[in-house]
Chain A
């Protein structure tokens, strides 16, 4: 009985291995096509390993299709979003962790409620507001629009973390003459490294992958496109340059996958934590 059970478990590999390979096929195709010559692609080679390896596609994507610029834009955009979210949510989370802060419950309630009320699509007022601030067609405006709605979970994470720190630590700092801001920046914030890591990683990945907001806010400035938006426009104009597309896709997707692979535990735990709590 036992042996049969163990064999049955092993039999699952016969299903899982091909399934996962098929699942990952788009990535495999992407990488292999990026190194194939355009000629080989046109002849319809289905083989995964390119006949003659070439870096031409990457060159073309990087310079002609401006993926180099797009990469820099994407990094600027993502880093700005991460810094904004971290700073704003850490400050707010610290303040909201205080016991007996008047208005605390109301603020937390508003935060949570907006997360659960479906509010349709509010991109237009956001767009008009950024326009009104004179930040349209700039990456800062897009970063603000991206950072605003995603604050809730980071604020709650920081709040939960700071509320769990013993009060004595704060009091000791106060006795030593540290004021409120100094206690926060020099003592409390360094303690919050795990939360900072989780929030930074989650926000970096979602900002890197964002499409709607960068698309809307760079309509008038093609030079500020991020990778996703650039890819979209490249596809619209050159839908036949498949190897160039594949190289562009690699430039857009592989860095973020590498970041994820190094820090996957943090990321997966972050998502899982959202469900459990």
Chain B
């Protein structure tokens, strides 16, 4: 190491750093003068490294560390419990209930929202459809609205005592007595999933519309000359062409839907009887709920870490399948 540095130092002292050639072995100028040359760049990077390091990288590392302590946040974390928090999380039925609900939110988003949004995108991508910008706007508006606020508006709409939905349904004679949509263990979760779909639909629609823009028009023309009708075009041209981007969209939708917090917290707070609890609300309850006696930061961190690992496993499980499909799409 020292030899290369001293050798490089003489080179830099005698002449300017040699220009990098196109070959594979690039004669690199020595590190120190290069660092000095770029020192302003490093100054410019400092705020980002501080902010990002402190609020993204550090929390990821510290979560693991805190998870080994039984800690209520008062004073330093000294009560080392080893893997105790982890075994408690893994053995806690309520955690698995919350995880299962988080997972179901993803399943609905991937299996219902994504295909539905694709159908709308194909329809709205048609240049001859009048007013398509207006339709697109209407479908996109929920995305821009504050989740917590629209969640509460929905809670009022679905209210069993005088809410619009129940009034309309009873008025039409479709149901005999009002349904307590968000207040009963059987209907609360599906209702929230419906609201979540309404809220996220616009983003997925925009993803698909962007994806459709990437399909070259010439291919459609060529296939029409070959005698393909619009159904065949969709099956044999559009869908295969979309596969690579569809995978990106799938991952984006998966990430978003797994982190549902705002909607659940604002409407049901995980109730009734934890039937709508998701992992983020579960963690929130152990750390920040004002009604608990003492926060359990260590335990909540362990739950966060386990959740992260489980998500990672699910993402990796998708990987071989996705790679296979990606190849099929690219071929």
Interface residues of A (CB under 8 A from B): 6, 9, 12-13, 16, 20, 23-24, 26-27, 29-30, 42, 44, 46, 84, 87-89, 91-92, 94-96, 98, 100-102, 107, 110-111, 114, 116-129, 144-145, 147-149, 151-152, 155, 179-181, 184, 205, 208-209, 211-212, 215-216, 219, 227-229, 231-232, 235, 242, 245-246, 248-249, 252-253, 256-257, 260-261, 264, 267-268, 271-276
* C-alpha gap A122/B300 in the complex (Å): 10
Query: B320: shortest Cβ distance to chain A, in Å?
Result: 17
User: Inside 8 A of A152's CB, which chain B residues have their CB?
Assistant: 52
Contact between A257 and B162, CB atoms less than 8 A apart: no
With A121-B304, A211-B147, A276-B214 already in contact, the answer to whether A88 and B48 are too (CB < 8 A) is yes
* C-alpha gap A277/B210 in the complex (Å): 11
* C-alpha gap A118/B138 in the complex (Å): 32
Interface string of B133-159 (1 = CB under 8 A from A): 011011111101111111011111100
Query: B266: shortest Cβ distance to chain A, in Å?
Result: 5
Query: A2: shortest Cβ distance to chain B, in Å?
Result: 11
User: Which residues B112-147 have CB closer than 8 A to chain A?
Assistant: 123, 126, 128-131, 134-135, 137-142, 144-147
Query: B32: shortest Cβ distance to chain A, in Å?
Result: 10
Contact between B41 and A98, CB atoms less than 8 A apart: yes
User: Inside 8 A of B153's CB, which chain A residues have their CB?
Assistant: 26, 29-30, 245-246, 249
Name which of B1-9, B220-228, B254-262 contacts chain A.
B254-262
Please tell me if B188 contacts chain A, counting CB pairs below 8 Å: no
Closest to A264 in B: B137
* C-alpha gap A145/B51 in the complex (Å): 9
Q: Which of A100, A110, A122, A216 contacts B59 (CB 8 A)?
A: A122
> Top 10 closest A-B pairs, CB basis?
A148-B55, A120-B308, A272-B210, A92-B48, A122-B59, A118-B311, A125-B62, A121-B304, A180-B40, A95-B41
Does more than half of chain A's interface fall in helix, strand or loop, or is it mixed? helix
Contact between B45 and A102, CB atoms less than 8 A apart: no
Instruction: Given A111-B52, A228-B262, A260-B144, output 19 extra A-B contacts at Cβ < 8 Å.
Output: A23-B138, A23-B142, A24-B141, A91-B45, A101-B38, A122-B59, A122-B63, A124-B59, A124-B63, A128-B66, A212-B262, A212-B265, A212-B280, A227-B146, A231-B148, A232-B148, A242-B156, A252-B149, A253-B149
User: Which residues B169-185 have CB closer than 8 A to chain A?
Assistant: 171
Interface string of B24-61 (1 = CB under 8 A from A): 00000001001100101110110111011011111110
With A26-B154, A120-B308, A181-B40 already in contact, the answer to whether A253 and B146 are too (CB < 8 A) is yes
Please tell me if B307 contacts chain A, counting CB pairs below 8 Å: yes
User: Which residues B157-214 have CB closer than 8 A to chain A?
Assistant: 157, 162, 164, 167-168, 171, 198, 203, 206-207, 209-211, 213-214
Q: Which of A107, A209, A229, A272 contacts B147 (CB 8 A)?
A: A209
Contact between B138 and A96, CB atoms less than 8 A apart: no
* C-alpha gap A107/B157 in the complex (Å): 48
Please tell me if B287 contacts chain A, counting CB pairs below 8 Å: yes
Q: Which of B41, B171, B266, B305 contacts A235 (CB 8 A)?
A: B266
* C-alpha gap A87/B48 in the complex (Å): 9
* Most-contacted residue by chain B among A124, A126, A208, A271 (CB, 10 A): A124
* Most-contacted residue by chain A among B44, B49, B126, B167 (CB, 10 A): B44
* C-alpha gap A114/B152 in the complex (Å): 33
Closest to B295 in A: A124
Q: Which of A100, A124, A228, A275 contacts B297 (CB 8 A)?
A: A124
Sampled A-B contacts (18; CB under 8 Å): A16-B123, A20-B138, A26-B150, A89-B48, A94-B41, A95-B45, A102-B34, A107-B45, A107-B49, A114-B56, A120-B305, A120-B306, A120-B309, A127-B288, A215-B265, A256-B144, A257-B145, A271-B207
User: Inside 8 A of B284's CB, which chain A residues have their CB?
Assistant: 123, 212, 216
Contact between B280 and A87, CB atoms less than 8 A apart: no
Contact between B265 and A211, CB atoms less than 8 A apart: yes
Please tell me if B312 contacts chain A, counting CB pairs below 8 Å: yes
Contact between A155 and B66, CB atoms less than 8 A apart: no
Contact between A249 and B149, CB atoms less than 8 A apart: yes
Contact between B57 and A123, CB atoms less than 8 A apart: no
User: Inside 8 A of B40's CB, which chain A residues have their CB?
Assistant: 95, 179-181
Contact between A120 and B307, CB atoms less than 8 A apart: yes
User: Inside 8 A of A273's CB, which chain B residues have their CB?
Assistant: 210
Please tell me if B11 contacts chain A, counting CB pairs below 8 Å: no
User: Inside 8 A of B110's CB, which chain A residues have their CB?
Assistant: none
Query: B157: shortest Cβ distance to chain A, in Å?
Result: 6
Closest to A277 in B: B248
Query: A112: shortest Cβ distance to chain B, in Å?
Result: 12
Query: B27: shortest Cβ distance to chain A, in Å?
Result: 13
Please tell me if B315 contacts chain A, counting CB pairs below 8 Å: yes
With A118-B308, A252-B149 already in contact, the answer to whether A232 and B63 are too (CB < 8 A) is no
Contact between A119 and B60, CB atoms less than 8 A apart: yes
User: Inside 8 A of B42's CB, which chain A residues have their CB?
Assistant: 95
* C-alpha gap A256/B149 in the complex (Å): 12
With A12-B123, A209-B145 already in contact, the answer to whether A96 and B255 are too (CB < 8 A) is no
Q: Which of B48, B60, B203, B309 contacts A122 (CB 8 A)?
A: B60
